[in-house]
Chain A
Amino acid sequence: MKNVLAMVLAGGRGERLYPLTRDRAKPAVPFGAIYRIIDFTLSNCLNSDIRRIYALTQYKSISLERHIQLGWNILSAPLGEFVGVISAQQRINEQWYQGTADAIYQNIYTLQEERPDLVLILSGDHIYKMDYRKMIAFHLEGGADLTVAAIRMDRKYSREFGVIEVDRDWRIIGFEEKPATPKTIPGDPEGILASMGVYLFKTEILVKRLIEDARSDSTHDFGNDIIPTMIGKDRVFAFDFRQGDRGGRGYWRDVGTIDAYFDANMDLVSVTPQLNLYDPQWPILTYQPTYPPAKTVLAEEGRVGTAINSIISNGCIISGGSVKRSILSPKVMVHSYAEIEDSILLEAVDIGRYAKIRSTIIDKGVRIPEGLEIGYDLDQDGKRFTVTGSGIVVVPKWIKL
């Protein structure tokens, strides 16, 4: 796969994930106790033998850049392999990226230097396991100029996605961003093909179309502008995600909202999660400092350190408190008589004695004082914290309680 260059768009603001995105870009949001969202896309690349990867950052990028430098500096530079970070550097003109296509256009010098045959454009915002090699083979076999990965969705979600219309050979004949009345899949009137934001281009065609787009009035976006103008003049195909799905269950999540984020995390503590993190053939890599192993202590009457149906990371100590159906990132402390249920505690959260936490996401480093209850009186919680429509409370970083 030496002729493929991956460009991961990692500038997503993730505004609907606020306050988790108050201090970090969406790809840097922690997920599944020890990962960041971007780890899934980067792991897909490595597991697919793609070893020339740039992540393009622009917005609140320090956390993300640090994570990539610490965790992903694992390839061999002498062999021409790398995971590099390119922060928006205004090399071509003096503006921030205007859209997804502009982000690539402004890095045209990188394409120039690397001169790959194919450019794989990915989003750092999504959680899924995909073998891009299958898509590349499909692209080459069909002589495609552009191939767009597509997943079947229920038609009622059409307003959230770019909806692809294909002919019998999966050639794309229509593309609409977030339509109210979508074109459905032939023979499947309840289904639509949604774009996954995964694009594979012949490099020269990509450059030509980016330049044409840069020189026209446009929103400079792949979905809005580039794909629609290419249909009809170039060979544009859709690739069925099921052909490359390494999880085998059609799992692909945008985790665009707090509720979706909460549900996707909670899936991981079910007996058989939809997203399998335990497949040795498809490891998900991340940056993890060395911490001591997790431990539970105390077993006195009414003061038992327990964790059930939960994920407990290294460095955690559950000391005489109880944890149920929850996800604990590294270095979380749960003190005596505290009760945690259906919650996500990010790194180094400290839960004081007798505190009761339910259906709550607590961001990094927050100290919950003795006896505080969160998730039991949502009106009260709403005065200090974000509370979603479905009743999930989010306690932001830096808050003093």
Chain B
Amino acid sequence: MKKKILVVEDEEGLRFLYEEELKAEGYEVLIARNGREAIEQLEKGKPDLIILDIVMPVMNGMEALGRIVGKDRKIPIILNSSYPGYRQDFMSWAADAYLTKSIDLGELKDKVRELLEKGRAR
């Protein structure tokens, strides 16, 4: 079975990039444009991992993170932001990883693979 990845990103161009590249890696990709949609997708789509932007309209990633963990304690979450400063936020420590955005998705793909494998071991 294909692993499902939920990409939460408000920027359309980036969303498209992530979707294409992750599909090419053999994952099924779900999309949400903000934190609120992410929570809906979490319940509807049952993803195996979440890639979560922080600065987004409607509900930002940091708030969504708390709510996601409240609903599914163990789902792997990668915070993915252009701003490294959010690492100082205590709540960001609840993510399994914090990556600064890049259009080279190598690091992100490695982290996705690593966390999904860890998840299988759990």
Contact = CB atoms under 8 A, between A and B. Distances in A.
B70 A94 contact: yes
A109 interface: yes
A93 B69 contact: yes
**Do most interface residues of chain B lie in helix, strand or loop, or is the interface mixed?**
helix
B90 A111 contact: yes
A117 B74 CA distance: 29
Given A108-B90, A112-B89, 20 more contacts: A92-B69, A92-B70, A92-B91, A93-B66, A93-B67, A93-B70, A93-B71, A94-B67, A95-B70, A108-B91, A112-B91, A207-B93, A211-B90, A214-B69, A214-B73, A214-B94, A215-B73, A215-B94, A216-B73, A216-B74
Contacts of A279: none
12 contacts: A93-B69, A93-B71, A94-B67, A94-B70, A95-B70, A109-B90, A112-B90, A112-B91, A214-B94, A215-B69, A215-B94, A217-B73
Nearest to B68: A93
A193 B8 CA distance: 50
Given A214-B73, A215-B74, A216-B73, A208 B67 contact: no
Nearest to A218: B73
Contacts of B74: 215-216
Contact of A109 (B67, B91, B94): B91
Nearest to B74: A215
Interface in B94-122: 94
Interface string B74-93: 10000000000000011101
A211 B94 CA distance: 6
Contacts of B73: 214-217
Nearest to A93: B70
Interface residues of B, number: 12
Nearest to A216: B73
Nearest to B75: A215
A128 B91 CA distance: 34
Interface in A209-250: 211, 214-217
Which 8 residue pairs spanning A and B have beta carbons closest together?
A: A93-B70, A92-B66, A211-B94, A207-B90, A112-B90, A108-B90, A215-B73, A211-B93
Most central of B90, B91, B94 by chain A CB within 10 Å = B90
Contacts of B91: 92, 108-109, 112
A318 B60 CA distance: 63
A216 B90 CA distance: 18
Interface string A144-158: 000000000000000
Interface string A185-222: 00000000000000000000001100100111100000
A92 B35 CA distance: 13
Contacts of A92: 66-67, 69-70, 91
Contacts of B89: 112
Nearest to A211: B94
Contacts of B70: 92-95
Most central of A108, A109, A215 by chain B CB within 10 Å = A215
Interface string A90-110: 011111000000000000110
A134 to B, nearest CB: 29
Interface string A106-135: 001101100000000000000000000000
Contacts of A112: 89-91
A94 B71 CA distance: 9
A95 to B, nearest CB: 6
A283 B53 CA distance: 51
B14 to A, nearest CB: 27
Contacts of B69: 92-93, 214-215
A217 B73 CA distance: 8
B93 A208 contact: yes
Contacts of B93: 207-208, 211
